[in-house]
Amino acid sequence: MNFESSTTPRRAVFLTTPALWEHGHGKNHPLKPERLRRTCELLEAYGALAAPNVRVIAPQPATEDELALFHSRTYIEVVRILSEGGAWTETREYINPMRYGFGSGDNPIFPEMYETESLKAGSSLLGARLLVSGDCDVAFSYAGGLHHAMASYASGFCVFNDPAIAIQWMVDQGLRVAYVDVDVHHGDGVEAAFYDTDRVLTISLHQDGRTLFPGTGFIHDIGSGAGEGYAVNVPLPPYTDNDAYLWAFREVVPPLLERFAPDVVVSQLGVDTHYQDPLAHMALTTAGQTALFEAFDALAPRWLALGGGGYNLDVVPRSWTLAFGVMSGQTFPDELPESYRTRYGGQWLRDHEEPGIDDFTRQRVRHKVEEIVAEVKRVHHL
């Protein structure tokens, strides 16, 4: 399979609206809506959204029926009621928020929660519709990628699982879908949604669940029933750097996609693999992440790109700007635009520093990555 980026600019859609960042989990929560606003502003400052092959489209909230492509009707009703400040269902049953994953920690209840989170789901679903209809070649729903939410409860900052909703809609259209998740956390909710089907291939490269939330995603978790062999997990050790990560990706992902032959590739582009991310311990730089984006560009004839994790407000806008540059065939100057620098600080789009990993640790980690990949390839007959 060709592993070089396309030279012809894709017809790219960027899905955004200010409503995506007007409400959030709270000022002290790691998932800050500001990262979305900054990303949009940085792309605008570079002129990226005015390119002739780019369209900017404002998404609409997913309907209840669309949310029900993955979520239970009861859960959808609960989210709506809690969002409005209520505590009782229409049948006068008291809602215990903890039963549905809500509390004061990862998943607080916040004003306009239903509207904000259904908008993110609607964004990714619209991207899927535009791809399937042939209106674009790549769609970037950067507010999406909320891969931890389960059918009946919130998890890991995620209320509605937009990847699962969008993928299920595409499966219902008769398509084969490959989902590749490069967030630092295991894509557990999406994997669970399709664990027993051979219509969806789920691949997750993530920091080992023994060292990080959600504590899942091990090599021998491979699916069940008709889905056996269609769930692939590559749990990587902390301090995996660009070279080791990209080597693992190239050893596993291209041959799996070639064998599965998907109609659409959905990627979750969480950038919390960056060495400066406060919630994890991987060691990628923007150079390594850009190489991943270029790999997806080569591997995905039709590409639905989703956002995901990333909790360093300096890093996320730069990484996702580089991602959209790859998607739309644009290269940006390394010096950040003056308007952006004045407002947010910083100087460079690309990292000019490397993580401080000593040679012994780097070699030890690389050896462990090679062992993991060898076992993944054995289990999945690569």
**Which residues belong to the active site?**
148
What does the alpha-carbon distance between residue 317 and residue 86 come to, in Å, rounded to a whole number? Answer: 35
**Residue whose token pair is 């920690």:** 105
What does the alpha-carbon distance between residue 371 and residue 240 come to, in Å, rounded to a whole number? Answer: 13
Supply the angle between the helices 113-132 and 162-172 in degrees, to the nearest 10.
40
What does the alpha-carbon distance between residue 263 and residue 11 come to, in Å, rounded to a whole number? Answer: 17
Burial class (CB in 10 A: 0-12, 13-18, 19+), 138: buried
Give the three-state DSSP class for 42: helix
Give the three-state DSSP class for 38: helix
Give every CB contact of residue 252 below 8 A, 6+ residues apart in sequence.
Answer: 203, 205, 232, 234, 373, 376, 377, 382
Identity of the amino acid at 2: N
What does the alpha-carbon distance between residue 80 and residue 64 come to, in Å, rounded to a whole number? Answer: 10
Give the dihedral sign, CA 347/306/161/155: negative
